[in-house]
Homo-oligomer: A and B are copies of this chain.
Amino acid sequence: MAPRHIHARERLLEAARDVIRAKGFSATSVDDLCRTAGVTKGAFFHHFRSKEDLGVEAARFWSETTSELFANAPYHQPADPFDRLIAYLEFRKVLLAGDVPDFTCLVGTMVQETYDSAPAIRDACNATITSHAMTLVADIRAAMEACGVTGTTAESLALHTQAVLQGAFIMAKARGSAEIAADTIDHLIRYIRLLFNKPAREEIPQ
């Protein structure tokens, strides 16, 4: 059985992940989190110095869990780095399932509200986004070299993919549907195919 002393902390981090994605950081109260996690306030402040501290830890928790998800995802299978990059973006489309709070990004949501008032949270969110982007750099660089792509850098393109994904989530929130998010990822895929001079079989819309 799982050790009891991990329960409250982990349940609070999972509650934060779910509630903050739906309501935002400020609108999520400590009581909200305790209620959702099924723990008391004493437990909360035993594990976290403050609500801001929980925000930082939630960003780190998000980084850990998503890292694991992406590390074990099937998009690494293709032999060619360019194909792996496209497979990554197709995988991001597959992840657009369920309700909007289920597929949107915790740290993207949090950083919007905290970038000016809680630098610690902003830094943790930035580290999460950046480190995920950096997992793409090796493949992008290899593909760029193989295809002779110039005019930008692998790091810049990796960060651009994350910007597009974050923007896709905002549009999905505004429209209340994942459709627009998939559509904007398709534009990103089309960009990368054009940039690497590897267009899809047909450029006809579905």
Q: B-contacting residues of A (Cβ < 8 Å)?
A: 22-27, 100-101, 107-109, 111-117, 122, 125-126, 129-130, 150-153, 156-157, 159-160, 162-168, 170-171, 173-176, 180, 183-184, 186-187, 190-191, 194-195, 203-205
Q: CA of A24 to CA of B110 in the docked complex: distance in angstroms?
A: 10
Contact present for B173 and A170 (CB under 8 Å): no
Closest Cβ neighbor of A115 among chain B residues: B173
User: Mostly helix, strand, loop or mixed at chain A's interface?
Assistant: helix
- Asked if residues B115 and A152 are in contact (CB atoms below 8 Å), the reply is no
Nearest-neighbour CB distance to chain B for A158, whole angstroms, equals: 11
Q: Which residues on B sit within 8 Å (CB–CB) of A116?
A: 22-23, 100-101
Does the CB pair B113–A152 fall under 8 Å? no
Which of B24, B152, B168 touches A24 (beta carbons < 8 Å)?
B24
Please give the count of copies of this chain that the complex contains.
2
Known: A100-B115, A113-B26, A117-B27. A160 touches B187 (CB 8 A): yes
Q: Are A23 and B113 in contact (CB under 8 A)?
A: yes
Using CB atoms, name the residue of chain B closest to A192.
B191
**A164 shortest CB reach to chain B, Å:** 5
| Given A117-B27, A173-B115, A205-B151, residue A195 in contact with residue B184 (CB < 8 A) | no
User: Are A174 and B125 closer than 8 Å at their CB atoms?
Assistant: yes
User: What 8 A-B pairs are tightest by C-beta distance, nearest first?
Assistant: A167-B167, A26-B26, A163-B167, A24-B113, A191-B191, A194-B194, A151-B203, A115-B173
